[in-house]
Each structure stands twice: as structure tokens, then as C-alpha cells.
Amino acid sequence: MSAARGSTDERTGPQRLDALMSHADRHDIEFVDNSNTSSPSFFRHRGKRVPGLLAPLKRALWPQYDYDTANKGPARRFARRDPSLRRPSDGAKRGTRVHLQIETLTNYGTSAVKKKVGRAGIDLYTMKFIAWLRHERLRPVVSELALYDADLGLATSADLLCLDSRDRVVLIETKTGYYSSWHRACKPMAGPRLPRCMSDSPCNQALMQLLFTKRMIESYGTRVDRAAVVRVTPDGVEPEQLDARVEARGNLIAAYVIESRHQQQSRRRGRARQ
């Protein structure tokens, strides 16, 4: 992946985040939100549509994961405990709603959230997450920050960047749901040496997404001091830290994903010629 474009290690956390948000290269990428239309949302880099991070990671690193098989039983059991899960699509809708409320609160303030949610009110999961941030003494700075990596040719949004009580930069990937299927795996994670230390469970999928988001941020020259996946469930808020063994293999994993994308693109070109 791209080398850091100028080190900012000597700067404070607030200075590093200011530099990241104002970085000239980062303004070449934008997220086009079509949530209010029938068209899907997408990323655009310098006017050209580019793919998001998650689907290529899935194809390269957990291609055989069967979400229906892994989640069917746990989803039914937890639906009895959580009245908001009346239909299979309710969990995904709640995740979208919570992310939007966190983004609005962080980027635009409490009054904007109240105006947006109206009579429906702030989601319980959003309130749990905010309470956890306060307990951990984390100050949200920016949410859903669009990022692009030229080596991968992929874009993503950082869920939440915070400062802790010591002004260190903290990256959070927010997840809702999964419940007891969080650690349910189908296969070992694909990729260089990964089967020895991680499976393809939703937990490890989220941690891999976090790893790549962190690397994208650092490619802009902004060091991330801490990174975690934070999952909100009916039982509370559960943070998951990056495995140091996996993070140490970050360059190998990135190279594996790049090679997987090149192979897929070659196969597509071959089919197009036939």
C-alpha cells in the first residue's frame, strides 16, 4: 500500500487529524450518498467511480463464508430478546440508522440529530455507543471520513476518529448486531499465514476491515495510536482490538488482496474477449 505522504509523528493528535482532514489528496475522494433514491451509493475519485473496500476484501480473504448458515440460528434466538428484529432486514436497517446518527452527531451536533430523527428519537444502540464513548473518555472528531488508496484502487469511509484523554488518535469501526454469530466461522481466513491465527468469523472480518482502514489513514501521513472494532448489542458495548500478529503481516495481506484483484480483473478481461 502507499507509503506515508509525509510523516506527522511529531504532531499532537489534534494536529494530525487536522492535517488528515485538510490533506489535498484526500479531497480527491468523495462518497456519493444515494440513500434517498433507488440508485446505490458509491465512491468517486477524481470524477471516476471506484469500488469500496469491503467487497474486494470478502472476495480475497473470506470468499467461502456463508452468512445465512452461520447467522440463521443465532438471529432467531436473539430476535426473541430484541423486539426491533422483527424481519431479517431490520438488523441491517438499524446498523444504517445508528451509523447515520453517529455521523450526524459527530459532524453536525446534537441539534442536527434531533432534527433528523424527529419523533422516532435517537436509537437505543446509538445512545449505548455514546455512553460508552463518554465512559472511555473519547472525544469524537469526525465520522464517515472518505479515504482512498491508490495501490489498491479502493475507497472506504472511516466510521469514527476520536481523541482520547491524552489527545491520542483513536480509530473506531462500529458494528451492530451479529450477537452469538460474531465468532462463528466457516473456514480459516484466506491469505498469507492467516489460517494459523484467525478464522473467517464476522469478528475477524470486521478486524480486517479495520486493519485496511487504519493503513489507508496512515498512508496520508497520520499515525493512528489505537484502533478497535466496537460492537453494540442488547447486552452492551464490546470492543475488539487488532491482533498484533495480524497487523504485523499487514504488508503481506495488502499484497495478497492486490494480487487477488489483479487476477479477478484478468479473468474479467478474458471473458470479455470470448
pLDDT at 113 over 80: no
Nearest Cα to Cα of residue 183 among 172, 195, 194, 199: 199
Question: Which comes out higher in pLDDT, residue 118 or 89?
Answer: 118
The one-letter amino acid code at 197 reads: C
CB 106 within 8 A of CB 143: yes
Greatest mean pLDDT range, 4-18, 80-94, 157-171, 249-263 = 157-171
Tell me, yes or no, whether 183 lies in a domain. Answer: yes
DSSP secondary structure code for residue 180 in this structure: G
Tell me, yes or no, whether 99 lies in a domain. Answer: no
Per residue in 127-171, pLDDT tens? 999 999 999 999 999 999 999 999 899 999 999 999 999 999 999
pLDDT at 25 over 60: yes
Per residue in 10-23, pLDDT tens? 799 999 999 999 99
Read off the pLDDT of each residue in 223-231 and give the average, rounded to a whole number: 96
Tell me, yes or no, whether 94 lies in a domain. Answer: no
Read off the pLDDT of each residue in 181-209 and give the average, rounded to a whole number: 88
Take residue 82 and report the three cell numbers written for it: 430484541
Per residue in 200-214, pLDDT tens? 999 999 999 999 999
Tell me, yes or no, whether 159 lies in a domain. Answer: yes
C-beta neighbour count of 197 within 10 angstroms: 14
Backbone angles phi and psi of 119, in degrees to 5: -70, -25
Backbone angles phi and psi of 12, in degrees to 5: -75, 165
Number of domains in the chain: 1
Tell me, yes or no, whether 144 lies in a domain. Answer: yes
pLDDT at 215 over 80: yes
Tell me, yes or no, whether 212 lies in a domain. Answer: yes
C-beta neighbour count of 60 within 10 angstroms: 20
The whole domain housing 40 covers 13-75+124-273
Backbone angles phi and psi of 152, in degrees to 5: -80, -30
Tell me, yes or no, whether 230 lies in a domain. Answer: yes
Residue in the structure block whose three cell numbers are 433507488:
38
Percentage of the chain modeled with pLDDT above 90? 54
Domain with 213 in it: what CATH number? 3.40.1350.10
Helices and strands of the chain, counted as H and E runs = 9, 8
Q: What is the pLDDT of residue 8?
A: 45
Q: What is the pLDDT of residue 51?
A: 94
Of the ranges 64-73, 75-84, 131-140, 243-252, which one carries the lowest mean pLDDT score? 75-84
Distance CA 109, CA 213 (A): 25
Find the angle CA(92)-CA(98)-CA(102) to the nearest 5 degrees.
Answer: 150
Q: What is the pLDDT of residue 84?
A: 60
107: left (phi over 0), alpha (psi -120 to 50) or beta: alpha
Greatest mean pLDDT range, 71-75, 140-144, 175-179 = 140-144
Read off the pLDDT of each residue in 182-187 and give the average, rounded to a whole number: 88
Tell me, yes or no, whether 87 lies in a domain. Answer: no
pLDDT averaged over every residue in the chain: 86
